Protein backbone atom coordinates (compact mmCIF):
# COMPACT_ATOMS: atom_id res chain seq x y z
CA UNK A 1 0.00 0.00 0.00
CA UNK A 2 1.39 3.38 -0.90
CA UNK A 3 1.01 5.91 1.85
CA UNK A 4 0.71 9.54 0.94
CA UNK A 5 2.04 12.28 3.17
CA UNK A 6 -1.30 14.07 3.20
CA UNK A 7 -2.91 11.08 4.90
CA UNK A 8 -0.62 11.29 7.91
CA UNK A 9 -1.66 13.03 11.09
CA UNK A 10 0.94 14.03 13.67
CA UNK A 11 0.05 12.78 17.14
CA UNK A 12 3.05 13.72 19.24
CA UNK A 13 6.78 14.44 19.19
CA UNK A 14 8.83 11.35 20.06
CA UNK A 15 12.15 13.11 20.22
CA UNK A 16 14.68 15.35 18.58
CA UNK A 17 17.77 14.01 16.94
CA UNK A 18 20.59 15.55 15.05
CA UNK A 19 18.89 17.94 12.64
CA UNK A 20 15.48 16.32 12.76
CA UNK A 21 12.38 15.66 14.79
CA UNK A 22 10.68 12.29 15.10
CA UNK A 23 6.87 12.27 15.38
CA UNK A 24 4.38 9.59 16.14
CA UNK A 25 1.87 9.75 13.29
CA UNK A 26 -1.41 8.10 12.41
CA UNK A 27 -2.34 7.01 8.91
CA UNK A 28 -5.90 8.30 8.60
CA UNK A 29 -7.17 5.67 6.16
CA UNK A 30 -5.91 2.59 7.99
CA UNK A 31 -5.54 3.96 11.51
CA UNK A 32 -2.02 2.47 11.59
CA UNK A 33 0.65 4.18 13.65
CA UNK A 34 4.09 5.06 12.27
CA UNK A 35 7.12 7.12 13.21
CA UNK A 36 7.97 10.04 10.94
CA UNK A 37 11.40 11.63 10.98
CA UNK A 38 11.28 15.14 9.57
CA UNK A 39 14.49 16.87 8.62
CA UNK A 40 14.39 20.52 7.74
CA UNK A 41 15.13 21.16 4.11
CA UNK A 42 17.33 24.09 4.92
CA UNK A 43 19.77 22.22 7.13
CA UNK A 44 23.45 22.34 6.27
CA UNK A 45 25.10 20.03 3.79
CA UNK A 46 26.49 17.62 6.39
CA UNK A 47 23.11 16.89 7.91
CA UNK A 48 21.55 16.58 4.47
CA UNK A 49 24.21 14.10 3.48
CA UNK A 50 23.41 12.08 6.61
CA UNK A 51 19.73 12.03 5.73
CA UNK A 52 20.43 10.79 2.23
CA UNK A 53 22.75 8.12 3.54
CA UNK A 54 20.14 7.02 6.02
CA UNK A 55 17.51 6.86 3.26
CA UNK A 56 19.82 4.89 1.01
CA UNK A 57 20.46 2.29 3.71
CA UNK A 58 16.82 2.10 4.77
CA UNK A 59 15.84 1.42 1.17
CA UNK A 60 18.29 -1.48 0.98
CA UNK A 61 17.52 -3.13 4.30
CA UNK A 62 14.66 -5.42 5.12
CA UNK A 63 15.06 -7.46 8.27
CA UNK A 64 13.11 -8.11 11.47
CA UNK A 65 16.13 -6.71 13.31
CA UNK A 66 16.42 -3.32 11.61
CA UNK A 67 13.78 -0.64 11.67
CA UNK A 68 11.65 -0.70 8.53
CA UNK A 69 11.10 2.25 6.23
CA UNK A 70 7.66 2.67 4.65
CA UNK A 71 8.30 5.67 2.49
CA UNK A 72 10.24 8.84 1.92
CA UNK A 73 8.54 12.18 1.20
CA UNK A 74 9.31 15.73 0.41
CA UNK A 75 6.82 17.73 2.45
CA UNK A 76 4.93 20.72 1.01
CA UNK A 77 7.24 23.01 2.99
CA UNK A 78 10.34 21.48 1.45
CA UNK A 79 11.37 19.24 4.36
CA UNK A 80 12.44 15.63 3.98
CA UNK A 81 10.36 13.06 5.86
CA UNK A 82 11.12 9.39 6.44
CA UNK A 83 8.21 7.16 7.42
CA UNK A 84 9.23 4.24 9.62
CA UNK A 85 7.58 1.49 11.56
CA UNK A 86 6.65 2.74 15.02
CA UNK A 87 8.44 1.09 17.94
CA UNK A 88 6.10 1.51 20.87
CA UNK A 89 8.43 1.01 23.83
CA UNK A 90 11.08 3.63 23.09
CA UNK A 91 14.74 2.69 22.99
CA UNK A 92 17.18 0.86 25.24
CA UNK A 93 18.36 4.09 26.83
CA UNK A 94 14.87 5.18 27.87
CA UNK A 95 14.11 1.63 28.98
CA UNK A 96 17.23 1.58 31.18
CA UNK A 97 16.13 4.85 32.79
CA UNK A 98 12.56 3.75 33.40
CA UNK A 99 13.02 0.07 34.30
CA UNK A 100 16.54 -0.05 35.69
CA UNK A 101 19.38 -2.37 34.77
CA UNK A 102 18.97 -5.48 32.65
CA UNK A 103 19.45 -9.00 33.97
CA UNK A 104 21.75 -11.43 32.19
CA UNK A 105 18.89 -13.40 30.74
CA UNK A 106 17.28 -10.22 29.38
CA UNK A 107 20.62 -9.18 27.92
CA UNK A 108 21.04 -12.57 26.29
CA UNK A 109 17.84 -11.94 24.38
CA UNK A 110 18.73 -8.33 23.58
CA UNK A 111 22.27 -9.23 22.48
CA UNK A 112 21.14 -11.99 20.18
CA UNK A 113 18.64 -9.69 18.44
CA UNK A 114 21.20 -6.93 17.97
CA UNK A 115 23.72 -9.47 16.67
CA UNK A 116 21.21 -10.83 14.17
CA UNK A 117 20.74 -7.23 13.01
CA UNK A 118 24.48 -6.64 12.79
CA UNK A 119 25.08 -9.93 10.98
CA UNK A 120 22.46 -8.84 8.45
CA UNK A 121 23.89 -5.33 8.04
CA UNK A 122 27.48 -6.55 7.81
CA UNK A 123 26.49 -9.11 5.19
CA UNK A 124 25.19 -6.17 3.13
CA UNK A 125 28.52 -4.40 3.74
CA UNK A 126 26.84 -1.79 5.89
CA UNK A 127 28.70 -0.61 8.99
CA UNK A 128 26.36 1.11 11.41
CA UNK A 129 29.01 3.17 13.25
CA UNK A 130 26.64 4.54 15.90
CA UNK A 131 25.49 1.53 17.91
CA UNK A 132 24.43 2.80 21.33
CA UNK A 133 21.42 2.31 23.61
CA UNK A 134 19.40 5.21 22.17
CA UNK A 135 19.71 3.88 18.62
CA UNK A 136 18.30 0.47 19.52
CA UNK A 137 14.52 0.73 19.42
CA UNK A 138 12.20 -1.58 21.30
CA UNK A 139 8.56 -2.54 21.25
CA UNK A 140 6.33 -3.93 23.95
CA UNK A 141 7.15 -7.50 22.99
CA UNK A 142 10.81 -6.69 23.68
CA UNK A 143 11.71 -6.89 20.03
CA UNK A 144 14.88 -4.88 19.49
CA UNK A 145 15.68 -3.21 16.18
CA UNK A 146 18.68 -1.26 15.00
CA UNK A 147 17.86 2.27 13.84
CA UNK A 148 19.48 5.56 12.93
CA UNK A 149 21.71 5.00 9.94
CA UNK A 150 22.70 8.66 9.69
CA UNK A 151 26.41 8.03 10.05
CA UNK A 152 26.53 4.51 8.68
CA UNK A 153 28.77 3.56 5.86
CA UNK A 154 28.30 1.30 2.92
CA UNK A 155 31.61 -0.37 2.29
CA UNK A 156 32.84 -0.45 -1.26
CA UNK A 157 36.28 -1.38 -2.45
CA UNK A 158 38.32 0.51 0.08
CA UNK A 159 38.22 0.85 3.82
CA UNK A 160 39.28 4.48 3.52
CA UNK A 161 36.92 6.97 5.07
CA UNK A 162 35.83 4.64 7.84
CA UNK A 163 37.92 6.57 10.24
CA UNK A 164 36.24 9.88 9.64
CA UNK A 165 35.01 11.33 12.88
CA UNK A 166 31.32 10.63 12.95
CA UNK A 167 28.97 9.16 15.48
CA UNK A 168 29.02 9.47 19.23
CA UNK A 169 32.67 9.28 20.24
CA UNK A 170 31.97 7.62 23.56
CA UNK A 171 31.06 4.31 21.96
CA UNK A 172 33.80 4.46 19.35
CA UNK A 173 36.38 1.68 19.31
CA UNK A 174 40.10 2.23 20.00
CA UNK A 175 41.03 1.74 16.33
CA UNK A 176 38.77 4.58 15.25
CA UNK A 177 40.81 6.94 17.40
CA UNK A 178 44.14 5.32 16.69
CA UNK A 179 44.06 3.01 13.68
CA UNK A 180 47.81 2.38 13.69
CA UNK A 181 47.87 1.02 17.20
CA UNK A 182 44.70 -1.08 17.23
CA UNK A 183 43.71 -1.70 13.67
CA UNK A 184 46.73 -3.56 12.35
CA UNK A 185 44.24 -5.37 10.25
CA UNK A 186 41.71 -2.59 9.96
CA UNK A 187 38.22 -3.90 9.81
CA UNK A 188 35.40 -1.41 10.05
CA UNK A 189 32.83 -4.01 11.07
CA UNK A 190 34.66 -4.67 14.32
CA UNK A 191 33.88 -1.12 15.46
CA UNK A 192 30.20 -2.04 15.69
CA UNK A 193 31.11 -5.00 17.92
CA UNK A 194 33.06 -2.78 20.31
CA UNK A 195 30.06 -0.43 20.56
CA UNK A 196 27.78 -3.41 21.18
CA UNK A 197 30.04 -4.58 24.03
CA UNK A 198 29.91 -1.13 25.67
CA UNK A 199 26.15 -0.95 25.17
CA UNK A 200 25.56 -4.31 26.89
CA UNK A 201 27.88 -3.39 29.75
CA UNK A 202 26.02 -0.12 30.23
CA UNK A 203 22.65 -1.88 30.32
CA UNK A 204 23.99 -4.31 32.90
CA UNK A 205 25.76 -1.77 35.12
CA UNK A 206 23.39 1.16 34.67
CA UNK A 207 26.00 3.69 33.63
CA UNK A 208 28.48 4.21 30.80
CA UNK A 209 31.34 1.78 31.55
CA UNK A 210 34.21 4.26 31.16
CA UNK A 211 32.62 6.72 33.60
CA UNK A 212 31.53 6.59 37.22
CA UNK A 213 27.77 6.84 37.76
CA UNK A 214 26.75 10.45 37.23
CA UNK A 215 30.20 11.52 36.03
CA UNK A 216 30.12 13.98 33.12
CA UNK A 217 32.21 12.95 30.12
CA UNK A 218 35.37 14.89 29.50
CA UNK A 219 36.29 13.88 25.97
CA UNK A 220 40.05 14.04 26.27
CA UNK A 221 40.08 11.84 29.38
CA UNK A 222 37.57 9.46 27.87
CA UNK A 223 39.58 9.11 24.66
CA UNK A 224 42.73 8.39 26.68
CA UNK A 225 40.90 5.76 28.69
CA UNK A 226 39.64 4.08 25.53
CA UNK A 227 43.01 4.13 23.78
CA UNK A 228 45.47 3.61 26.62
CA UNK A 229 43.48 1.96 29.39
CA UNK A 230 42.34 -1.61 29.76
CA UNK A 231 38.96 -2.32 28.24
CA UNK A 232 36.17 -2.21 30.80
CA UNK A 233 34.79 -5.50 32.08
CA UNK A 234 31.94 -6.86 34.14
CA UNK A 235 31.71 -6.37 37.90
CA UNK A 236 31.69 -9.41 40.18
CA UNK A 237 28.57 -11.55 40.14
CA UNK A 238 28.32 -11.98 36.39
CA UNK A 239 28.49 -15.48 34.93
CA UNK A 240 31.64 -16.83 33.26
CA UNK A 241 29.87 -17.01 29.89
CA UNK A 242 28.72 -13.41 30.05
CA UNK A 243 32.19 -12.26 31.12
CA UNK A 244 33.77 -14.10 28.22
CA UNK A 245 31.19 -12.73 25.78
CA UNK A 246 31.94 -9.14 26.80
CA UNK A 247 35.68 -9.83 26.50
CA UNK A 248 35.18 -11.10 22.96
CA UNK A 249 33.42 -7.81 22.09
CA UNK A 250 35.84 -5.51 23.89
CA UNK A 251 39.19 -6.72 22.56
CA UNK A 252 41.18 -3.55 21.96
CA UNK A 253 42.92 -5.04 18.97
CA UNK A 254 40.16 -5.01 16.38
CA UNK A 255 41.34 -8.15 14.58
CA UNK A 256 40.96 -10.15 17.81
CA UNK A 257 37.35 -9.10 18.30
CA UNK A 258 34.79 -11.72 17.34
CA UNK A 259 32.51 -11.06 14.38
CA UNK A 260 28.74 -10.74 14.77
CA UNK A 261 28.30 -14.21 13.30
CA UNK A 262 30.84 -15.76 15.66
CA UNK A 263 29.26 -14.08 18.66
CA UNK A 264 25.87 -15.56 17.79
CA UNK A 265 27.47 -18.94 18.51
CA UNK A 266 29.15 -17.86 21.73
CA UNK A 267 28.28 -20.04 24.78
CA UNK A 268 26.61 -17.04 26.45
CA UNK A 269 23.93 -16.99 23.76
CA UNK A 270 23.76 -20.73 23.26
CA UNK A 271 23.42 -21.48 26.96
CA UNK A 272 20.28 -23.44 27.74
CA UNK A 273 17.74 -20.85 28.80
CA UNK A 274 16.06 -23.18 31.29
CA UNK A 275 19.25 -23.56 33.32
CA UNK A 276 19.16 -19.82 34.00
CA UNK A 277 17.95 -19.16 37.55
P1 LIG B 1 21.09 11.19 17.51
O2 LIG B 1 20.85 12.14 16.40
O3 LIG B 1 22.18 11.57 18.40
O4 LIG B 1 21.16 9.77 17.06
P5 LIG B 1 18.61 10.42 18.59
O6 LIG B 1 18.99 8.98 18.46
O7 LIG B 1 17.91 10.81 19.82
O8 LIG B 1 19.83 11.35 18.46
P9 LIG B 1 16.81 9.99 16.41
O10 LIG B 1 17.42 8.70 16.07
O11 LIG B 1 16.47 10.89 15.31
O12 LIG B 1 17.74 10.84 17.33
O13 LIG B 1 15.54 9.73 17.30
C14 LIG B 1 14.92 10.72 18.09
C15 LIG B 1 13.97 10.05 19.06
O16 LIG B 1 12.90 9.44 18.35
C17 LIG B 1 14.60 8.96 19.92
O18 LIG B 1 14.14 9.10 21.23
C19 LIG B 1 14.07 7.67 19.37
O20 LIG B 1 13.87 6.71 20.37
C21 LIG B 1 12.75 8.08 18.73
N22 LIG B 1 12.50 7.28 17.53
C23 LIG B 1 13.23 7.28 16.39
N24 LIG B 1 12.74 6.42 15.49
C25 LIG B 1 11.65 5.84 16.06
C26 LIG B 1 10.71 4.83 15.63
N27 LIG B 1 10.79 4.27 14.43
N28 LIG B 1 9.74 4.47 16.49
C29 LIG B 1 9.66 5.04 17.72
N30 LIG B 1 10.51 5.97 18.17
C31 LIG B 1 11.50 6.38 17.37
MG1 LIG C 1 19.72 8.20 17.20
In 10 A of CB 191, how many CB atoms? 28
Tally the residues of the chain.
277
Q: Which of 255, 264, 115 is nearest to 188 (CA)?
A: 255
Does the beta carbon of 90 sit less than 6 angstroms from any atom of ligand 1?
A: yes
Question: Which atom of ligand 1 is least distant from the CA of 20?
Answer: 11
Judge whether residue 116 has pLDDT over 50.
yes
44 is catalytic: no
How many angstroms separate the Cα of 39 from the Cα of each of 51, 55, 146? Answer: 8, 12, 20
In terms of pTM, does the model score above 0.90? Answer: no
Rg (CA), the chain: 19
Judge whether residue 157 has pLDDT over 60.
no
Residue nearest to atom 25 of ligand 1 (CA): 35
Share of the chain above pLDDT 70, in %: 87
| Helix (H/G/I), strand (E/B), else coil: 182 | helix
Instruction: Check 7, 44, 88, 130 and give the catalytic one.
Output: 130
Question: Which atom of ligand 1 is least distant from the CA of 15?
Answer: 15
Question: Residue 158: its pLDDT value, please?
Answer: 39
Question: Which atom of ligand 1 is least distant from the CA of 168?
Answer: 3
ipTM, 2 decimals? 0.94
Is 37 among the annotated ligand-binding positions? yes
Does the beta carbon of 19 sit less than 6 angstroms from any atom of ligand 1?
A: no
Question: Residue 155: its pLDDT value, please?
Answer: 67
Does the beta carbon of 170 sit less than 6 angstroms from any atom of ligand 1?
A: no
Q: Which of 74, 66, 61 is nearest to 4 (CA)?
A: 74
Could you read off the pLDDT of 41-97 as tens digits, one per residue? 776 777 777 777 888 888 889 999 999 999 888 888 888 899 999 999 999 999 999
CA 182 – CA 228 distance, rounded (Å): 11
Q: Give Dmax (Cα) for the chain.
A: 57
Name the residue of 18, 19, 22, 26 whose CB sits within 8 Å of the most ligand 1 atoms, as the mutation to test its pocket.
Answer: 22
Question: Residue 27: its pLDDT value, please?
Answer: 97
Average pLDDT over residues 255-266: 96
CA 182 – CA 208 distance, rounded (Å): 22
Does the beta carbon of 133 sit less than 6 angstroms from any atom of ligand 1?
A: no
CB burial of residue 67 (10 Å; 0-12, 13-18, 19+): buried
Pairing outcome for strands 126-127 and 69-74: unpaired
Residue nearest to atom 5 of ligand 1 (CA): 17
Continuous H helices in 100-239: 104-123, 174-177, 179-182, 189-205, 219-228
In 10 A of CB 85, how many CB atoms? 17
Does the beta carbon of 167 sit less than 6 angstroms from any atom of ligand 1?
A: no
Share of the chain above pLDDT 90, in %: 60
Measure CA of the first residue to CA of the last residue in the chain; give whole Å: 46
Does the beta carbon of 146 sit less than 6 angstroms from any atom of ligand 1?
A: no
Could you read off the pLDDT of 215-246 as tens digits, one per residue? 888 888 898 899 899 999 999 999 999 999 99
Judge whether residue 13 has pLDDT over 80.
yes
CA 219 – CA 181 distance, rounded (Å): 19
CA of 38 to the centre of ligand 1 (A): 11
Judge whether residue 146 has pLDDT over 80.
yes
Question: Residue 78: its pLDDT value, please?
Answer: 84
CA of 14 to the centre of ligand 2 (A): 12
Could you read off the pLDDT of 180-202 as tens digits, one per residue? 676 654 568 999 999 999 999 99
Q: Which of 12, 168, 195 is nearest to 88 (CA)?
A: 12
Question: Residue 65: its pLDDT value, please?
Answer: 98
Residue nearest to atom 10 of ligand 1 (CA): 148
How many angstroms separate the Cα of 231 from the Cα of each of 173, 181, 198, 226? Answer: 10, 15, 9, 7
Question: Residue 48: its pLDDT value, please?
Answer: 76
Residue nearest to atom 7 of ligand 1 (CA): 17
Q: Which of 116, 174, 167, 168 is nearest to 145 (CA)?
A: 116
Could you read off the pLDDT of 20-29 as tens digits, one per residue? 899 999 999 9
Amino acid sequence: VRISYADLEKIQVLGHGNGGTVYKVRHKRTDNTYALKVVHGETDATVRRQVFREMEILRRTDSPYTVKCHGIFETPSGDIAILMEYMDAGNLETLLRSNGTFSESKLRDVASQILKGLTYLHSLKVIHRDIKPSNLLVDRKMRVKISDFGVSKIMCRTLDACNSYVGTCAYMSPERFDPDAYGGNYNGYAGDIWSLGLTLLELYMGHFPFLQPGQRPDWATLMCAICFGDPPGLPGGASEEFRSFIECCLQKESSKRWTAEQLLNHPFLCKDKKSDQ
